[in-house]
């Protein structure tokens, strides 16, 4: 812990399927579903300053979730976030900026809040910003999180698939979470609950991939381009699905490379968000 800056690392998070749960209180709102947290993530540095500013990979960025966290803490600071993950592509970068800002700010300002309090702050900021519903609580836990009940840590219920995986991914473009979430979501949520029930019955990586595929099909979120890549991975004997919400294909092991794609590789991450020294 330095007196000058606070730093935190937050793993990336790919959602395989989800259902939406609205509530007037953002602490109770959120999603149920399951995903993979990733060894690639976001490192957030918070440095006290007279005015709040946010940079993402060295460029000014209006990450509303991060700004809301600082406002809620009643602090002003320079937030710098660095990530190797693609932006706007379903890796939970905005959730990571919110959660990393909460952890790093608590560290540098000595606010003395608990992990649950910080996760709650970041979850509420992310929900209020409309950029995500379940990434923050998944990223606070790490591993392969199953979100059994929605909301912040005082309300939700989490479980996990007890295994590890190597993950490859390929991003074909951006997709606006806020736009999808503002459309009709009844069919989406029904498909998400069906997938969750199946995963709870058999909490394995194989079930997670199969249900993620079924969810992508049933919700009509698959674009032709994403579908073509997934089909290629399946044809090569691998497992792949679409990151929710991004125009991104993720695969287990070397599924994308085996199908001839130039993909990035990482692993599932078995710690949640952490303050860095």
Query: Binding residues for its own copies, per CB under 8 A?
Result: 1, 103, 106-107, 112-118, 142-143, 146, 153, 159-164, 200, 202-204, 270-272, 274-277
First to last CA, the chain: 5
Least distance (Å) between residue 246 CB and its own copies: 26
Q: Cis peptide leading into 235, omega within 30 of 0?
A: no
Using the CB atoms, write b or e for 52-68: b if 16+ within 10 Å: bebebeeeebebbbbbb
Nearer to its own copies, 22 or 253 (CB): 253
Nearer to its own copies, 17 or 103 (CB): 103
* Cα distance between residue 20 and residue 90, in whole Å: 16
Nearer to its own copies, 163 or 176 (CB): 163
Nearer to its own copies, 142 or 192 (CB): 142
Structure tokens at 8: 């935190």
Closest CA to 72 of 136, 123, 6, 17: 123
Least distance (Å) between residue 138 CB and its own copies: 13
Nearer to its own copies, 30 or 143 (CB): 143
Least distance (Å) between residue 126 CB and its own copies: 18
Please report how the helices 115-129 and 64-73 are oriented relative to each other, as an axis angle in degrees rounded to 10.
Answer: 130
Least distance (Å) between residue 21 CB and its own copies: 20
Least distance (Å) between residue 163 CB and its own copies: 5
Nearer to its own copies, 22 or 194 (CB): 194
Nearer to its own copies, 78 or 113 (CB): 113
Least distance (Å) between residue 159 CB and its own copies: 4
Are 188 and 260 in contact by the 8 Å Cβ rule? The answer is no
Are 20 and 181 in contact by the 8 Å Cβ rule? The answer is yes
H or E stretch including 31? strand 30-48
Q: Hey, what's the torsion of the CAs at 174, 95, 140, 257, to 10 degrees?
A: 10
Least distance (Å) between residue 112 CB and its own copies: 5
């Amino acid at each position: 812990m330095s007196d000058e800056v606070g730093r935190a690392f937050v793993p990336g998070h790919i959602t395989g399927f989800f259902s939406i749960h609205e509530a007037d209180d953002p602490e109770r709102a959120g999603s149920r579903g399951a995903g993979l947290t990733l060894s690639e993530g976001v490192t957030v540095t918070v440095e006290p300053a007279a005015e709040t500013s946010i940079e993402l990979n060295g460029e000014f960025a209006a990450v509303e979730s991060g700004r809301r966290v600082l406002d809620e803490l009643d602090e002003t600071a320079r937030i710098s976030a660095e990530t190797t993950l693609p932006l706007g592509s379903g890796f939970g970068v905005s959730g990571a900026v919110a959660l990393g800002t909460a952890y790093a700010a608590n560290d540098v300002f000595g606010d003395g809040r608990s992990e649950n309090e910080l996760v709650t702050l970041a979850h509420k900021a992310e929900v209020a910003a409309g950029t995500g519903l379940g990434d923050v609580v998944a990223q606070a836990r790490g591993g392969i999180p199953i979100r059994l009940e929605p909301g912040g840590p005082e309300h939700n219920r989490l479980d996990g698939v007890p295994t590890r995986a190597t993950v490859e991914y390929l991003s074909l473009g951006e997709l606006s979470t806020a736009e999808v979430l503002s459309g009709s979501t009844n069919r989406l949520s029904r498909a998400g609950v069906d997938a969750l029930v199946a995963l709870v019955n058999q909490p394995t990586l194989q079930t997670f991939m199969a249900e993620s595929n079924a969810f992508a099909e049933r919700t009509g979120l698959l674009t032709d381009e994403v579908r073509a890549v997934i089909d290629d991975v399946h044809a090569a004997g691998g497992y792949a699905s679409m990151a929710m919400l991004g125009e991104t294909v993720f695969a287990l092991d070397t599924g994308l490379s085996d199908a001839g794609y130039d993909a990035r590789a990482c692993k599932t991450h078995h710690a949640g968000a952490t303050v860095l020294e």
